[in-house]
Structure 1
Amino acid sequence: MQNNEGFPLVEVSGTPFERGVQHGRAVPDRVRGSIALYRDQLAKRGIDLETIATLARNFIPNIVAFDPTYFEEMQGMAEGAGVAVEDIITVNCRTEMMFGHSALKQAREALDDGCTGLVVLPKGTRDGRLIHAHNWDWREACVDTGIVLKVKKHGDGPDMLMFTEAGTLGRHGFNSAGLSLSGNFLTCERDYQRSADVPLGLLRRKMLESTNMTAAMRTVFGARRYCSNNLMLAHADGEAVNLECAPDEIFWITPEDNILVHANHWISYPARAKLVDLGLLNTPDSIYRQRRVASMLQEAQGKITWETVKEALADEFGKPEGVLTHPAKASFNSVYCTVATTLMDPAAGKMWVARKPYEGRNFVEYTL
């Protein structure tokens, strides 16, 4: 499927390397667009191309140690798109690359990543089906680098349907085992203080390769992380958990009255007592984003529909910095916005994605 209002669907199968080649060949211009975006972001932070390549190569041992097939898939993407593997690594490790280098203290003081995610358990919905949805707030350029990636594993784990950036292993989505995942930016004073281990993008992909929630959570609890991140995990049969991940500790939250909502600040009481939330300096809107979405869902408790969720994720209070973020100036002469709204029904194997939702909620359907 490819729709002028949506994102291209990229279907891959075979060995990891073959899947990577298919990915790169399907959307080479979008892969190059992803590379150009993060080269530009790093250049604005004072990092030249030679240093970018060196930083990328330094991640190879970590990638191979976590899962050698991931590096094979990245090599395939590079070959398929006709780019260097270092460029593919940069895109897959972009958070760690943009904020983790020792020369980037200034960059870490201008953190402006975003996102708002939600899960409604079946008992909270009108039709008795779990709803998992997400607003991805990031650079405006990603409206032209995003893709929907369908990975056919052919028995080697569940199949996956993910929304992600071209040239990456995955971002958020669901699998054929009924597991769904989304992630939001978090930060605290513990970030980037230890040696890098598992990049966040790889961790999310590994979770989506799990056949059940227990395995997915074990992946997170067993991984060393370089920086904070929020992970919202659910299963179509009616369970969900939110994992607020600091580099060395994880704080969990479960749904209240069938509803789970998270934005970009630490919510769990232990986390708020133990950590310094560095993100609120630049994204204080996270506080009202989380509260407003939770309130709108609670008002429809027991009869929440896709339209309820669409309305909640289109809330413009505080415009341009609302749940739905209109294009606005961001750090390092960038433009920030809600790139896409994603709705996931893992039980039905369906995903609906709206590109540039601030221009209109035109949802395109993708099916696993």
Structure 2
Amino acid sequence: MTVSGDALTRGAQHGEALRKEIQDFVRDDFARVNRIRHAPLSAARIWRIVDEHRQVLEAEVPELAREVQGLARGADIRYEEALLLQLRRELIGAPAGPAGGDCSTLAVRDAQGRRMAQTVDQDGLIADLGIVLRILPEHDGAPEVLMFTFAGLLGYLGLNSFGLGVSINLLTSDMEGPGVPPYLLVREALTRPDAASAVDRLGALRRASARALTLFDAQGVTCCEFTPSRLRVWQAHSFLRTNHFLHEELVPHDRLNIFSRNGSRKRLELLKAGLPAAVDDASTFTLLSDHSLFPTGLCAHAEGDIRRPDTVAAVVMRPDEGVLSVVKGNPCRATPVRFQLSRPPDAARVAPVLNEAASC
């Protein structure tokens, strides 16, 4: 779907177009939060957490807060319910299933240019809510954005018309109070012309929880890991990652359970082993369909268990071309659909550079 106009209008268009899906989901035991958690939260506690984060959003990312307000109006839900959709991961907390499992990401250069790919792993059986959202620029100088996300969620992963691609991976650390949810941090990053300015913006905001963002612009890959109070960045020519901290200064803050950490390391090894054969988009989707660790692994199957990780989509992005290809649902079962920006990114911005950083 495509949205345009100012923040309130964009949100209203999103909410109106997906009103039934959003209403049904947010009112299904708080967007299924309490169906996933082993220790459900009371309604009073949920709304208190939402309100604490609301204050931060309105102060630090007011345009996104207005877009959430528009979403509520368009979907005919309460503002607090629309905010809950942005905070769902924070309310769920650490991975619920004992085996863990989550998104797996790669960023490389090939004969065609820059290629980013990611599995989208979620608990809650939400594959049917996946959407591709096109955000047209509100004014001259603003980028067009193309994202994969979910009904009612204003950010997830994507690329912009400056040639910047951003993927996201769950990391787990101690919570430290309210902040901007990382999915909305991706939206903020995608307003920027390059990785450096995106990272500057991330560092200036209070962050609700830990994540890893992989940012790919013409200068190479920027690897960004953060907790609510710490942010570390390094550069790479190519990069693979899963869901444990890699930066040595942040490893001590990792709170991922041992089962999930072992699964994350196994998936990283699978990416490394499969990367030489993943030479184009089609073979990348094949890699992301790997069942070596079934029913978890790169292509995870929840098999109807709401608490189990499920690969609800797989995405390959071409930031040089402004192309996002998506398989909705398990990548082993479907054919990719190709989406493209209205106009290709500025060639001057996305031209390859000669001095590339070493791989990490």
TM-score normalised over the length of structure 2? 0.86
Question: How do residues 219-258 of structure 1 correspond to structure 2 at under 5 angstroms?
Answer: 219-235=201-217, 237-255=218-236, 258=237
Change (3 A) 1:172 1:276: closer
Residue identity in the other structure for 2:17: A
Change (3 A) 1:325 1:110: closer
Provide the residue aligned with 2:253 in structure 1. Answer: 275
Determine the C-alpha separation between the residues in 2 that align with 1:359 and 1:27: 27
Change (3 A) 1:284 1:98: same
Provide the residue aligned with 1:208 in structure 2. Answer: 190
Report Cα offsets for 1:307-348 as digits up to 9, x if no partner.
Answer: 231222111111111111122476xx5343100001111221
CA RMSD of aligned residues (A): 2.4
Provide the residue aligned with 2:317 in structure 1. Answer: 344
Provide the residue aligned with 2:90 in structure 1. Answer: 96
Structure 2 stretches lacking a partner, 5+ long: 342-360
Q: Does 1:316 align with 2:283?
A: no
Determine the C-alpha separation between the residues in 1 that align with 2:318 and 2:222: 17
| Larger mean Cα displacement after TM superposition, 177-186 or 219-228 | 219-228
Question: How do residues 1-368 of structure 1 correspond to structure 2 at under 5 angstroms?
Answer: 10-36=1-27, 38-42=30-34, 44=37, 45-99=39-93, 112=100, 114-121=102-109, 125-127=110-112, 129-139=113-123, 141-154=125-138, 155=140, 157-188=142-173, 191-192=174-175, 194-235=176-217, 237-255=218-236, 258-272=237-251, 274-297=252-275, 299-300=276-277, 304-328=279-303, 334-368=307-341
Does structure 1 conserve the Cα–Cα contact (< 8 Å) formed by 2:52 and 2:178? no
Change (3 A) 1:254 1:61: same
Pairwise CA distance, 1:52: 2.6
Pairwise CA distance, 1:35: 1.4
Report Cα offsets for 1:154-202 as digits up to 9, x if no partner.
Answer: 32521100111111211000001001101111113xx11x222222122
Q: 1:130 is paired with a residue of what secondary structure?
A: strand
Pairwise CA distance, 1:219: 1.4
Pairwise CA distance, 1:359: 5.0
Does structure 1 conserve the Cα–Cα contact (< 8 Å) formed by 2:97 and 2:308? no
**Share of identical aligned residues, percent?**
25
Residue identity in the other structure for 2:246: I
Provide the residue aligned with 1:6 in structure 2. Answer: none
Determine the C-alpha separation between the residues in 2 that align with 1:275 and 1:49: 30
Pairwise CA distance, 1:39: 3.6
Report Cα offsets for 1:265-291 as digits up to 9, x if no partner.
Answer: 12233333x334424433521111112
Does structure 1 conserve the Cα–Cα contact (< 8 Å) formed by 2:96 and 2:307? no
Does structure 2 conserve the Cα–Cα contact (< 8 Å) formed by 1:19 and 1:73? yes
Pairwise CA distance, 1:25: 0.9
Structure 1 stretches lacking a partner, 5+ long: 1-9, 100-105
Determine the C-alpha separation between the residues in 2 that align with 1:111 and 1:58: 31
Q: 1:339 is paired with a residue of what secondary structure?
A: strand
Pairwise CA distance, 1:230: 0.9
Pairwise CA distance, 1:140: 5.2
Does structure 2 conserve the Cα–Cα contact (< 8 Å) formed by 1:111 and 1:279? no
Change (3 A) 1:180 1:13: same
TM-score normalised over the length of structure 1? 0.84
Change (3 A) 1:177 1:214: same
Pairwise CA distance, 1:46: 2.3
Provide the residue aligned with 2:354 in structure 1. Answer: none
Change (3 A) 1:136 1:36: farther
Does structure 2 conserve the Cα–Cα contact (< 8 Å) formed by 1:140 and 1:339? no
Change (3 A) 1:61 1:354: same
Change (3 A) 1:282 1:213: closer
Does structure 2 conserve the Cα–Cα contact (< 8 Å) formed by 1:11 and 1:151? yes
Determine the C-alpha separation between the residues in 2 that align with 1:295 and 1:253: 23
Pairwise CA distance, 1:144: 1.3
